[in-house]
Structure 1
């Protein structure tokens, strides 16, 4: 049992047929989840692209109405987090994910018919509830199939696909604006939402037909009986408890996992504010002296997402290689946030400094993959339902704060300099480094206590291990 556990931690693929199994999982899980998240972000972030491409003028936006719409979206997104992950216990993922996609695709297309900012506000609220299934649901699924050494890279690839949606969305809007603006009497930004919705539907069909669900309930036709058994053996066996019960709620709120990881992502979510609030595009749109074309307004900010993709893949791969040291990203974020904000405060009239700082700030997107992989790693030996709720609560907490944070610190009416937001970024970046250190401390302390309890509970095994220098685990005592 000890060898099995250490093999899990190292992510070694030594069992017969394991490499082939992982290749199948990569193809069918990652292709669907990445396409789903790509389209999710494409639908979500194209509101900003539409805003700077004529929607603001066509619908007569005023003040910070764009931020208000984003806040309403955030409220709906927050509401949907935990219910969507709990729903995965009662509805098979291959049904639940595609169903949500069909609904949000329909709402995206309906956005093209909007006549007032209030119309978009109502549409985005319901759209957000169904889009909430994608991010936290996928991280739960990834943690159900992959070992600790495999997880970071896969989480990174998944997260990068969303950033690709952000980046490519600008180019798509540029192409649509130049080739379809005025077609059938519709503005280019309206065609953007119609096309986004249409291309989402085939991916939903693909997921319904071929997504493998989870190891213990999969009926995927491309997995053999032996591969299904191997998939179950690759992840720890944990106790099950229904997520809708008082005993589960008491257990959830009595652990440090829920509090520490939720606060971690609340802070981390606000360190992404420069990117998630599209500040570079708003900076360009409101610049007092420089004039930018529609193509430039859509294309230049894509560099932020490009940096985010590179940073995400780099840190996800590096932390896997280093044995899961996901916390390193927390310190990197702290440094980047303080330095970039300080530079923009010090040089408010330098366009070069602002562009460079916004691009470099895109690297903080790496926390999405690494921090959710970190939560999956730490909670691997706890109840499956606890892992699902903690992961969902992380995103729920972050979006609950972001619902008002973006208006207070990054409202469109604060463009182009966002001075208040720069000081807020310095504060949360420092908090990020401190909280990361605290989480590392409490996790190490918990693991030492767990190992001592396990050794005390199985003295014969502890004696044997003392001769070899290996460490017994919580997983061993259960198996």
Structure 2
């Protein structure tokens, strides 16, 4: 069947009963398709050619644009730590815990914007909104190069946090609206690994700038870092404007045909896990979230997990205290992020492939392994090499892409619930991150950070317990849904008298 069949309704008025027609069609099935199904999307072999082309376009345009933006966000976010250990501390006369307070301001602003962000893009086109945000934080990244006091840095970090805060939950929400169950976690992982890649590149970039540009034209190396990052960020905002397709229900993107836009809506309907984006916000659904286990288990889990993996943020402080060179203070933490990248991809790949196993089980394994490196720092192993190793493998504990794919799977049938839970997880994490590090990771306690490292170890144990709770609750929900479907199927059809209705009426009612 051709996708331009004149008997089919126009894509703009696609009836629900005919959506399935857009998913059937020619499907080339050969050795290559089997190979791709084996190494990538498990349903690739069964997809129609049109479905494959649509996913390929989404990967090339939408996923790539979101990934570049996320890479730059983490590059700009992490350059504070690299600048601090590369001369900014001395130039701005940063004392005591003023550096910690810069992080506190950033986290407080980000926390306040997490929940509103997911609802804003239900009303405002994400392409326009994210583009404006990226240009905004790029401008203030430039501005940091001219800071002359720690008070100025407080103001710049506030503005950068405001614009950056929307990117994280909005990108997750967009990805979950276009990709299906066998596709989603891997794409989130590919997008998410741009974060540690950006953090790693920031360290390598600062090391190169310090060695080659420090003092040139009377400008310190750490100031050049902000100039270079700003020059890279602003143009990316325009890339987002032209490549983000918004949502399947309202997309006007140039690289999708009308048939492909209709197919995108049909894919979501067939997937049966994600509710359509209608642009309406139902307050009753949001309030009902407080009566479900999703909010009371998922949100605390991410709060605890998010803090449990923060040991790596103190790596540069540890290296500086132990007299490592400026270059090594930037390169070694960057290598920590490099280790994180393959781990994220592997976890997400397995969670998409092993569909019979809950994503919660995939999450559980890295968390249990994380008890070792986190424990080494909590109880301060006597060997410097062992402590450096514990810092280096800290990134192997990250399971965020799998977790958010699991959230989309468990909450996807209600758009508002998915938006609220997605925003709430980030909101509460950043809210606690705005004040908790200022208490347990005081710079005056470094590099031992006894309270901080023991707190992260305790949070990791608690997150393991909550993962087990989520696995149990999700399985219970699945069993209840299966029983409800079975009851519906066993319900007998009403008996119709042959002499009271016509054959056409019988067929219609059946």
Whether TM-score is above 0.5 comes out as yes
Distance 2:277 2:257 in 1: 25
**Aligned: 1:279 with 2:311:** no
Distance 1:112 1:67 in 2: 19
Match in the other structure for 1:331: 364
Match in the other structure for 1:385: 416
How many correspondences in the alignment? 450
**Aligned: 1:317 with 2:349:** yes
Gaps of 5+ in 1: 463-479
Deviations 1:328-373 (A, max 9, x none): 34423432332123333555441100111111221112x1111111
Q: Within 5 Å, give how 1:174-213 maps onto structure 2.
A: 174-213=207-246
Match in the other structure for 1:473: none
Shift of residue 273, structure 1, vs aligned partner: 1.0
Match in the other structure for 1:74: 107
Distance 1:70 1:430 in 2: 25
Distance 1:407 1:334 in 2: 25
Q: Is the 8 A contact 1:344 1:353 kept in 2?
A: no
Distance 2:165 2:388 in 1: 31
Q: Within 5 Å, give how 1:30-429 maps onto structure 2.
A: 30-236=63-269, 238=275, 246-275=283-312, 278-287=313-322, 291-323=323-355, 325-346=358-379, 348-365=381-398, 367-380=399-412, 382-429=413-460
Distance 1:296 1:267 in 2: 30
| Residues 346 and 395 (structure 1), Cα distance of their counterparts in 2 relative to 1, 3 Å cut | closer
Match in the other structure for 1:434: 465
Shift of residue 221, structure 1, vs aligned partner: 1.6
The two structures, once aligned, show a CA RMSD in angstroms of 2.2
| Residues 124 and 301 (structure 1), Cα distance of their counterparts in 2 relative to 1, 3 Å cut | same
User: Does the residue aligned with 1:184 lie in a helix, a strand or coil?
Assistant: helix
Q: Is the 8 A contact 2:363 2:402 kept in 1?
A: no
| Residues 362 and 166 (structure 1), Cα distance of their counterparts in 2 relative to 1, 3 Å cut | same
Deviations 1:192-224 (A, max 9, x none): 111111111221111112221111111112111
Shift of residue 326, structure 1, vs aligned partner: 2.2
Distance 1:461 1:373 in 2: 37
Q: Is the 8 A contact 2:378 2:457 kept in 1?
A: no
Q: Is the 8 A contact 1:152 1:319 kept in 2?
A: yes
Match in the other structure for 2:507: none
Q: Is the 8 A contact 1:38 1:162 kept in 2?
A: yes
User: Does the residue aligned with 2:434 lie in a helix, a strand or coil?
Assistant: helix
Distance 1:221 1:241 in 2: 21
Distance 1:239 1:177 in 2: 50
User: Does the residue aligned with 2:249 lie in a helix, a strand or coil?
Assistant: coil
Distance 2:263 2:295 in 1: 30
Distance 1:345 1:397 in 2: 24
Distance 2:369 2:315 in 1: 16
In our comparison, the structure showing a higher alpha carbon Rg is 2
| Residues 314 and 191 (structure 1), Cα distance of their counterparts in 2 relative to 1, 3 Å cut | same
Distance 1:182 1:306 in 2: 29
Distance 1:307 1:240 in 2: 37
User: Does the residue aligned with 2:193 lie in a helix, a strand or coil?
Assistant: helix
Q: Is the 8 A contact 1:72 1:124 kept in 2?
A: yes
Q: Is the 8 A contact 2:307 2:459 kept in 1?
A: yes
Say which is worse superposed, 121-130 or 367-376, in terms of deviation. Answer: 121-130
| Residues 113 and 268 (structure 1), Cα distance of their counterparts in 2 relative to 1, 3 Å cut | same
Deviations 1:269-295 (A, max 9, x none): 0111112xx2111101112xxx22111
Match in the other structure for 1:445: 476
Shift of residue 421, structure 1, vs aligned partner: 2.1
User: Does the residue aligned with 2:476 lie in a helix, a strand or coil?
Assistant: helix
Distance 2:131 2:276 in 1: 28
Distance 1:460 1:14 in 2: 33
- Normalising by structure 1, report the TM-score: 0.89
Distance 2:276 2:175 in 1: 19
- Normalising by structure 2, report the TM-score: 0.84
Distance 2:243 2:422 in 1: 25
Distance 1:354 1:348 in 2: 6
Deviations 1:389-428 (A, max 9, x none): 2111111111111112212222222221222222212211
Match in the other structure for 1:457: 488
Shift of residue 125, structure 1, vs aligned partner: 1.6
Gaps of 5+ in 2: 1-16, 25-40, 494-510
Distance 2:54 2:276 in 1: 25
